[in-house]
Structure formats: structure tokens, C-alpha cells
């Protein structure tokens, strides 16, 4: 593959994308201020109003690089909003890597974008870089560590997935794999993209030195959590797994859900979402190759867990 930028250039050009529903203006201001303090200025910043009019960001005029705002008429969910940012970046055509940041996140260190640039400059097969997510006390929740079990959140390396709250994506990779699965709206969209990237031969790196501060939350805070989590999981495996692995994956996952879920209302919503995922079209079926299954297994997470 050709290098990301012509020889002798300053390296890959970085864009920052933020999707917001307009209900966190103070948090977005703080996030953008942390972007402005980076020792490597992003080439472009795209802010998407996801089904909302964007408020006037107090610090926008002090931001480096070109700032573009996009307002979409309806809430497209996390993946749909990020696709709107990607569409805008492609119109410019001068960005190599996009850094997605949650609108209530914060870049603590000033060298995050520079480190991202250097990682991509040093590895032409690097597709995705996942950040470490930690709350204001420096704690990283177990669900935010992209490995099975109680892994050390400070141990980096190649992994099989990444976190939606803070990550970087190669634009060349997206040209090959396709964009976010907008129909998922919320939940498992990162796994769908990660599996496509791995199947296309791209590397996924967890880089804990890239820190995004984010309030401690539970995904169950969203009213639609149980339903869309179940629906999207069924869609995910129908789209991406070889046929023999589909019942294995769904069986393991159903057992784990029954053991972990304490809410009867949540279980009812989960089973409703499961049936929705079975009955409704899952989208294009493009199952991963068996060598990708083996690669994910060697990296510590076989695609049945």
C-alpha cells in the first residue's frame, strides 16, 4: 500500500469529529477547548448537530484548523451522525485520519493528536486506534477495556475491538470497509466496523497512553438499551459470522445475558429486541473469513464471546 502522505510531508492529516444532540453545550465547549490546546493542530474539525440546531460554541473562533458545522434534521444515532461527519470530510478530500470524540469527553493531555499522527505514520496497515476511557478519578471501567476478563487498562497492543467514545479511523480503511452501520443507531456498531476492518487485513490498536476523560456511566441509562442491544447483536452475527458460528455466538451470549441481567423489564425488552433482530432484515451479509476468525482468536477474543 502507498504511504498515507507523500514522502517528505509532515505526516497524515488529522481531523476531529464531534457528534452532539445539542444538550451538552458546556461539555462540548470544554472538549473543543481541549482540542484547541493540542500541540498538533487538526487540519479540520467537524461538529454534527444530530437532529438539533447547534448552539453557539463560545470558544469555536479560537479553534485551530478549518471548523465546519453540520446539522441533520433527525437524530441518526451515533453511527449515523458519524457518517454525516465522514461525508463532510470526504467533500474536502484532504484528511487521512479522523478522530471521533464523545461530546462529553475531554482530552487531558496536549499530545494526543500528535501521538495519533505518529502511530499512523509508522504503520501503513493501522486501521483503528482505540483510546483509553477514564473518569475524573482516573478509573477505567472494565467494559471499556477491549479484552476479555479483568485486563489491565494500561496494557496496550493489538486487539479485536475499540471504544466508541474516543478513537481514530483511517480514511483509507473506511474506503475499503465502508462506513458505520447507521441502521444500528446505538450499540455494537464498533464491533461491526472492527470485524470488517480485521477481515480486510487492517490492524486495531489499543493505545492506553491516549486518554479521554469521560464521566462514569452505564449503557443501561438509555431507555432503548436492552432492545437495541439484543436486536443489533443478532444483526451483527447474521451479517458478519460464518454460518456455523451464528448459533454458537447467540447461544453463549443469551446464557450470559440471563446470568447477568437482574431486571425483568430489561429481559422482556431484550427478548423483544432479539426477535426483532431475527425477523427484520439484517442488511448486507458479508461474513468474515475463517482466517479472520483464527486471527481474532489468537488476539484473545474469538468471535463467539
Grid coordinates given for 52: 438539533
Mean pLDDT of the chain: 92
Where helices occur in the chain by DSSP H, the ranges are 25-36, 77-92, 112-121, 171-177, 189-199, 225-240, 245-260, 264-279, 290-298
Q: What is the DSSP letter of 84?
A: H
Cα 68 to Cα 62: distance, rounded to the nearest angstrom: 14
Spans in the chain with pLDDT lower than 50: 1-9, 58-59
- Give the side-chain half-sphere CA count within 13 A for 30: 14
Cα 183 to Cα 276: distance, rounded to the nearest angstrom: 13
Q: What is the DSSP letter of 58?
A: T
Q: What percent of the chain is modeled with pLDDT above 90?
A: 82
pLDDT score at 148: 84
Fold of the domain spanning 14-217: Spore Coat Polysaccharide Biosynthesis Protein SpsA; Chain A (3.90.550)
pLDDT score at 218: 65
- Can you give the residue ranges of every domain in the chain? 14-217, 220-285
Backbone angles phi, psi at 9, to 5 degrees: -85, 175
**13 with 96: CB under 8 angstroms?**
yes
**105 with 181: CB under 8 angstroms?**
no
Amino acid at each position: 500500500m502507498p504511504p498515507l502522505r507523500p514522502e517528505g510531508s509532515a505526516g497524515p492529516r488529522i481531523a476531529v469529529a464531534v457528534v452532539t444532540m445539542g444538550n451538552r453545550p458546556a461539555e462540548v465547549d470544554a472538549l473543543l477547548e481541549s482540542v484547541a490546546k493540542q500541540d498538533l493542530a487538526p487540519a479540520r474539525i467537524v461538529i454534527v448537530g444530530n437532529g438539533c440546531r447547534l448552539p453557539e460554541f463560545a470558544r469555536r473562533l479560537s479553534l485551530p484548523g478549518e471548523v465546519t458545522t453540520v446539522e441533520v434534521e433527525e437524530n441518526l444515532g451515533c453511527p449515523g451522525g458519524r457518517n454525516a461527519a465522514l461525508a463532510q470530510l470526504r467533500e474536502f478530500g484532504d484528511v487521512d485520519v479522523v478522530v471521533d470524540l464523545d461530546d462529553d469527553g475531554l482530552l487531558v493531555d496536549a499530545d494526543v493528536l500528535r501521538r495519533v499522527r505518529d502511530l499512523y505514520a509508522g504503520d501503513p496497515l493501522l486501521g483503528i486506534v482505540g483510546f483509553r476511557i477514564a473518569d475524573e478519578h482516573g478509573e477505567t471501567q472494565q467494559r471499556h477495556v477491549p479484552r476479555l476478563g479483568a485486563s489491565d487498562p494500561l496494557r496496550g497492543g493489538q486487539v479485536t475491538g475499540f471504544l466508541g467514545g474516543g478513537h481514530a479511523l483511517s480514511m483509507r480503511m473506511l474506503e475499503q470497509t465502508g462506513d458505520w452501520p447507521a441502521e444500528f443507531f446505538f450499540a455494537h456498531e464498533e464491533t461491526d466496523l472492527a470485524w470488517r476492518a480485521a477481515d480486510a487485513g487492517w490492524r486495531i490498536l489499543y493505545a492506553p497512553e491516549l486518554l479521554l476523560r469521560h464521566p462514569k456511566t452505564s449503557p443501561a441509562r438509555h431507555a432503548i438499551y436492552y432492545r437495541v442491544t439484543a436486536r443489533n447483536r443478532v444483526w451483527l452475527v447474521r451479517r458478519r459470522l460464518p454460518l456455523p458460528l451464528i448459533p454458537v455466538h447467540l447461544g453463549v451470549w443469551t446464557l450470559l445475558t440471563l446470568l447477568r441481567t437482574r431486571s425483568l423489564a430489561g429481559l422482556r425488552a431484550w427478548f423483544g429486541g432479539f426477535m426483532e433482530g431475527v425477523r427484520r432484515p439484517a442488511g448486507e451479509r458479508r461474513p468474515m473469513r475463517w482466517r479472520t476468525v483464527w486471527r481474532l482468536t489468537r488476539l484473545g477474543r474469538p468471535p463467539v464471546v
